Copies of this chain bind each other. A is one copy, B any other.
Amino acid sequence: MKQETIKRIRRFSDERDWDQFHSPANIAKSIVIESAELLECFQWNEDEYDLQHVKEELADVIVFTQNMLDKLDLDPDEIVNMKMEQNEKKYPVEKAKGNAAKYDQL
């Protein structure tokens, strides 16, 4: 995301004095709640969905994810690269190719 968009997310909370509600635990709950709303777009039918609704709920997930990064002062590139390194080891290409099994069942 652009710095400008990230700043808009921060300004939104700042102007409303919402930092007091944004404990890491509360943000974690919020990410689950929003991602369940995203899932609701696919509750009864996986193939036909309301794209506008998907966009709105996915955006909410991204906003709260940014709130969590800010709250814990984390760098997304750093944590994602750290995790991708783990994932690349857990799912070696030769075993995982074309296979959706969990790493402990590969």
**Chain A positions near chain B (C-beta within 8 angstroms):** 1-2, 4-5, 8-9, 12, 15-18, 20-21, 23-26, 28-33, 35-47, 49, 51, 54-56, 58-63, 65, 68-69, 72, 74, 76-77, 79-84, 86-88, 91, 93, 96-100
Q: Copies of this chain, how many?
A: 4
Known: A1-B80, A5-B80, A77-B1. A100 touches B32 (CB 8 A): no
By DSSP majority rule, is chain A's interface helix, strand, loop, or mixed?
Answer: helix
Residues of B within 8 A of A44 (CB): 21, 26, 100
Residues of B within 8 A of A65 (CB): 58, 61-62, 65
Query: Measured between C-beta atoms, what is the minimum distance from A103 to chain B in Å?
Result: 12
